[in-house]
Structure 1
Amino acid sequence: MHYVTVEGLTKSYGATPLFENISFHIEEGDKIALVALNGTGKSTLLRILCGKEVADAGKVWIHKDVTVVMLEQQADFVLHKSVLENIFNYNHPVLQAIKAYEQLTDEDQEPDLDELTKAIARMDELNAWHFDAKVKQILGRLNIHHLDQPVSSLSGGQQKRVALAKVLIDIGFEHTHTLLIMDEPTNHLDVSMIEWLENYLDQERVTLLLVTHDRYFLDSVCNEIMELDRQQLFIYKGDYENYLEKKASREDMDRSSVEKARNQYRKELEWMRKQPKARTTKSKSRQDAFYDVEKRAKQRLEQQQLELNVKMTRLGGKILELKKVYKSFGSLQILKGFDYTFKRGERIGVVGKNGVGKSTFLNMLMGLEQPDSGKINVGETVVFGNYSQQGLVVKEDMRVIEFVKNIAENFPLADGTKVSAAQFLQLFLFTPEKQYTFISKLSGGEKRRLFLLSLLFRNPNFLILDEPTNDLDLPTLSILEDFLLSYQGCLLIVSHDRYFMDKLVDHLFVFEGNGVIRDFPGNYTQYRDWEKDQEKIKEMPVPVEKPASSEPQPSAAPAAPQKPATKKLSFKEQRELQLLEKDIEALEAEKKQLDEKMGAGSLPYEELDAAARRVGEIMALLDEKGMRWLELSE
């Protein structure tokens, strides 16, 4: 079934168009991700599709049987009303029956039995139990409880989860044909919630258009990517990897096309200048073609890459040391005798469920909060850079370039050269025109990008990033990752973006609750694999011991000499053993493949020589890894 047709859509704010003459279609079952820089019209396009904004030109056709449901970044709640009233605000018999039943069973005191009997009878009459189970699953998975509290009492993250629950309940209850539009649905969700949402959207027969910065989520849920770039729309079928490959090919072709256009422009410009102004014989079609060529020739292709060899404040021998640190808020214990000494160049991810104290832990490291007991010693050379969830704080409205110049006029590089504030802004995708925009006119994502830029401009040597990926677009995330991969200082990251964590961290602090922090040697995906293995081990049946027999037992054989007690492997050693087994298996498979190629007798001399050398390397690696495997397994 055909859901949506968009033809020749144009939208501008001021003189600059966000997008111009774009067209696309959405069919039933499509799951599309919309990708673009912050401030280039992603949210505006979504709002036009759901009728909350009007385009300057073009047509949007939506099938009469299709209902459009949208999750916005800022939810539209009646703040004084309860969570329950905001979620079930449709006057539909099934929803009202569920609302009445949930209201009675969610109260702390015993419900009125007569009212409860009526509510149950109404649920039976409308056959609403199946949908009620789905509602309970959604609310439980998103950790939404106490439905009677007013929405105004919730934090921003809690409100986002309530808005998500409302949208998921809406699409499940009666609409046969629904277009679900989601703007950054994974913000403020912990990883278990994100993984559940992935599975939920994958199983539901839903047509989806979403904006997300979470690349694993995008890959899991979507089968098509639309990109807004330089006011045009480009469509790519397939996953994120395919999008990156096709985009790189397109940009190569664009560069070639622009270079040809510039050569043609020079020739055409010379011809235009040679013509006498009074003559009317000049070809009108050639004049029109000239202006088209001129537009292409002057097109700016910006390289979205950040290559900065940063001159960082030197880190001394002593960086950061925690000794027997305890911290709790009431009954919530955050740290229980935590010991750790940070080393130069460490890259640590901090993970755990929402509300276990990750942000408090970061604040304690920087001296913004004090421990209940224990010591936190910070080295004299440490310069913290704190990218907090609070975001950008500007005392008075000013232009972007003024804000950065107030920090410093230039950014020093390791080779002794400097980058001006304007050049640094351009590296973070702020065009010269954007640099003279007032900060109040920037989009939410652009403000986050400016906050990040201003933090890096101060040259910290210990970066603390608390949810840095929220509201950042994918091009900016790519730039940030490139910068952090070459960053020489210490790095501490709290993030629910699994792709970001996997790319940047070497080990994890896992907040398991009740003050317990596990130091896991590996990235987030490795941790999740280990966690699943542990769950499987717990589910394995425990061997049942045979009951002692009353019959006389044969005399015991002479006791064998006792083996020395085996040393229990540490967690790191267990992990190393698992990785060694995988490495040995992969090396043996590669050796077998090379042996077959060499035995076929069809390889040219150069390839045969290279294969023989590689087999020698593999044999040496197998010896080395095999010895270590034996050492650990014994």
Structure 2
Amino acid sequence: MNYLSAENIGRDLGEKWLFKALTFGILQGEKVALIGSNGSGKTTLLDMVAGLTETDGGEISVRKDIRVGYLPQEPEMKDELTVMETIFYAENEITTAIKNYELSMENNDIDLMSSAIETLDALQAWDYEAKVKQILGKLGIHDFNKLISQLSGGQKKRVALAKVLIDNPDFLILDEPTNHLDLQTIEWLEGFLSTSNTTLFLVTHDRYFLDKVANRIMELANNQIHKFTGNYAYFLEKKADREANDAVVHEKNQQRLKKELEWMRRQPKARTTKAQYRIDAFHDLKEKTAAGFKSDDKIELNVRTERMGKKIIEIHDISKSYNDITFIDHFNYVFKRGDKIGIVGKNGMGKTTMLDIIMGITKPDSGSVIKGETIKIGYYSQGGLDFSEDQKVIDAIKEYAEFVKLGDGRELSISAFLTMFLFPPKVQYNPISKLSGGEKRRLQLMKVLVQGPNFLILDEPTNDLDIDTLNVLEEFLESFGGCLLVVSHDRYFMDKIIDHVFAFEGEGYIKDFPGNYTEYRNWKDEEEKAALSQKKEKVPAVVIETPKTPAPDKKKMSFKEKKEFEDIEKTMKKLDERKTAVFDLMNGGESDFEKLGALGQELEEIKNELEEKELRWLELSELEG
């Protein structure tokens, strides 16, 4: 079943086409990832599919009988609503049924009430509020009564993500869903989406996420859509084959073009009509050869760093707390030459606080940070972009240096350095206002790198960067001769770059682990399995020893047991009565939808308690017999 069909769609920016004549489709059950460089039009394409932006030519058709959910990069929500009100404000089958139930109670509409109850029963939605809180909690939102206006940009994105997941649409469109999520939450979302039946169309630059969630990849490049059936690893293999083939075709076109150019030059000015087809073919070939192939050859950026003395940075017994919450508790570390350390942990654990303490932006409650005299720190923060919008791209970098010194003694011009970071010469003289959000982030990162630091501190450098840029950045950092301290939620990036982990595990404890992120996670999983295994091993020990003290052979119940037996029967009777009363309230006697969730929870608790009482009643009844 076809959920989406796009035929010859395009987007005209006036001076140029962002993309043109794109044709593709998405079938029910497919999980399709859209990838491409920053500024190629991925977000614009998602907006078109979601119906928020008109196409400049062509047509997009979405199946009419399905529900569509969309998570934009910057979701809009009502500031005056709380987190929970925002979720319940959504329009889906469950919230509609709850609102109809409330309306039926107000108007004494028996038919509407019966329909609402039937829907809630069919959807098993009496515990809807509990499910909402569970998903919000998984996404790191725990204050359900907080106003949207009081949330950070990252928290708003997570609430919006929770909202679309809870709505459970047939067709889910996600634009950078992993941004602002910590590693543990990304792994939860990865599992959630990969096992759901929802048809998915998403943009993400998280390569592990792509590999585990997507079963089809579409690459938006050079105004074309390249389609690959398979995960990200398969895409990389087939893309390499395609580029090799393109290189061969390009070489053949160049040879043909050279011959045709010689023919064109030999012809007299008054050409005959008979040769016009060949003239037209020449111009087509010239255009195709000029635009149809781009080489991915790269210079290895082994940038020279400032000389380091023996003392780099020493962290001596630092601690930091806010509002009685301990983020760092007596942490020590002495940096060594070539250290490349990744900081991981849940959001709100204190990762950025650690960076700010090392930078001297925040003071620790106790302890000290001592920096060597030769250390020159380059700090890339999550904060706002520091650019003048009307400034040219190249001028923003030339403020800090005219040349970049390479490790072999050569110098690279700023223009060449910008080109290596995927800012071609024609873009370098454009105003910064014309760059996409991801391109501006890339420029901000370059501004830090070009100043020649020998100690890099990077706080979420991979946010909003496309895969091509990530590859360039990874190559740069692999050859970087100084020290690196990085916070990132990109597991692929962390595995490729770092060889040491500072893991914020809670209550101020920071695990100093030698290895990359995956090695740390594997070690953590083994530790948790071992701890669980130890607990299980203790249970049989008690069971085995119990028969050594045989219980007396009771033919009759003691007075105490008789009293317990009588009390259990009374309790079971009361629980049965309360169970009936709760069920009646849920099916017509309760008007507050918030209480419906509480009643559903109470009903579950009553069932559990009844089971326990019944088991004990059976044990005692055997003694009586």
TM-score, scaled to structure 2: 0.80
Q: Structure 1: which 5+ residue stretches go unaligned?
A: 103-118, 551-634
Residue 255 (structure 1) aligned with residue 247 (structure 2): yes
Using a 3 Å threshold, how does the CA distance of structure 1 residues 123 and 324 change in structure 2: closer, same or farther?
farther
Residue 209 (structure 1) aligned with residue 201 (structure 2): yes
Deviation at 1:14, TM superposition (A): 3.1
Name 2:185's counterpart in structure 1: 193
Name 1:168's counterpart in structure 2: 165
Structure 2 distance, partners of 1:37, 1:93, is 38
Kept after mapping to 1: 8 A contact 2:438/2:466: yes
Q: Any residues of structure 2 matched to 1:228-239 within 5 Å, and which?
A: 228-239=220-231
Deviation at 1:237, TM superposition (A): 1.4
Name 1:61's counterpart in structure 2: 61
Name 1:7's counterpart in structure 2: 7
Structure 2 distance, partners of 1:222, 1:91, is 28
**What is the CA deviation profile of residues 426-479 of structure 1, one whole-angstrom value per residue up to 9, with x for unaligned ones?**
101112221122112211111111111111111111111111111111111111
Name 1:527's counterpart in structure 2: 520
1:502 alignment partner, SS class? helix
Kept after mapping to 2: 8 A contact 1:320/1:342: yes
Q: Any residues of structure 2 matched to 1:99-498 within 5 Å, and which?
A: 126-127=120-121, 128-129=125-126, 131-170=128-167, 172=168, 175=169, 178-299=170-291, 301-303=294-296, 305-395=298-388, 397-498=390-491
**What is the CA deviation profile of residues 372-406 of structure 1, one whole-angstrom value per residue up to 9, with x for unaligned ones?**
12121100111111111114212563111111111
Structure 2 distance, partners of 1:539, 1:232, is 52
**What is the CA deviation profile of residues 67-113 of structure 1, one whole-angstrom value per residue up to 9, with x for unaligned ones?**
332111100112222222322224567315668999xxxxxxxxxxx
Give the alignment's Cα RMSD to 1 decimal.
2.4
Structure 2 distance, partners of 1:401, 1:34, is 30
Structure 1 counterpart of 2:236, which letter? L
Name 1:77's counterpart in structure 2: 77
How many matched pairs? 529
Deviation at 1:205, TM superposition (A): 0.7
Q: Which moved more, 1:142-151 or 1:245-254?
A: 142-151
1:73 alignment partner, SS class? coil
Name 1:22's counterpart in structure 2: 22
Using a 3 Å threshold, how does the CA distance of structure 1 residues 547 and 228 change in structure 2: closer, same or farther?
closer
Q: Which moved more, 1:334-343 or 1:132-141?
A: 132-141
2:469 alignment partner, SS class? helix
Q: Which moved more, 1:406-415 or 1:160-169?
A: 406-415
Using a 3 Å threshold, how does the CA distance of structure 1 residues 70 and 92 change in structure 2: closer, same or farther?
closer
Structure 2 distance, partners of 1:509, 1:380, is 25
Structure 1 distance, partners of 2:181, 2:374, is 36
Name 1:536's counterpart in structure 2: 529
Structure 1 distance, partners of 2:270, 2:546, is 114
Structure 2 distance, partners of 1:49, 1:277, is 50
Using a 3 Å threshold, how does the CA distance of structure 1 residues 329 and 136 change in structure 2: closer, same or farther?
closer
Residue 518 (structure 1) aligned with residue 511 (structure 2): yes
Structure 1 distance, partners of 2:241, 2:514, is 37
Structure 2 counterpart of 1:412, which letter? K
2:439 alignment partner, SS class? helix
Kept after mapping to 1: 8 A contact 2:6/2:24: yes
Kept after mapping to 2: 8 A contact 1:306/1:428: no
Deviation at 1:281, TM superposition (A): 2.9
Structure 2 distance, partners of 1:123, 1:136, is 22
Structure 2 counterpart of 1:296, which letter? K
Structure 2 distance, partners of 1:304, 1:331, is 54
Structure 1 distance, partners of 2:419, 2:274, is 41
Structure 2 counterpart of 1:194, which letter? I
Structure 1 counterpart of 2:468, which letter? P
Using a 3 Å threshold, how does the CA distance of structure 1 residues 373 and 548 change in structure 2: closer, same or farther?
farther
Name 2:563's counterpart in structure 1: none
Structure 1 counterpart of 2:75, which letter? A
Deviation at 1:189, TM superposition (A): 0.9
Kept after mapping to 2: 8 A contact 1:275/1:282: no
Structure 2 distance, partners of 1:452, 1:99, is 49
Structure 1 counterpart of 2:338, which letter? G
Structure 1 distance, partners of 2:66, 2:99, is 25
Using a 3 Å threshold, how does the CA distance of structure 1 residues 396 and 246 change in structure 2: closer, same or farther?
closer
Using a 3 Å threshold, how does the CA distance of structure 1 residues 531 and 124 change in structure 2: closer, same or farther?
farther
TM-score, scaled to structure 1: 0.79
Using a 3 Å threshold, how does the CA distance of structure 1 residues 215 and 396 change in structure 2: closer, same or farther?
closer
**What is the CA deviation profile of residues 598-620 of structure 1, one whole-angstrom value per residue up to 9, with x for unaligned ones?**
xxxxxxxxxxxxxxxxxxxxxxx
Name 2:583's counterpart in structure 1: none
Kept after mapping to 1: 8 A contact 2:302/2:476: no
Structure 1 distance, partners of 2:435, 2:377, is 27
Name 1:39's counterpart in structure 2: 39
Kept after mapping to 1: 8 A contact 2:392/2:432: yes
1:194 alignment partner, SS class? helix
Deviation at 1:494, TM superposition (A): 0.8
Q: Which moved more, 1:471-480 or 1:334-343?
A: 334-343
Kept after mapping to 2: 8 A contact 1:309/1:414: yes
2:209 alignment partner, SS class? helix
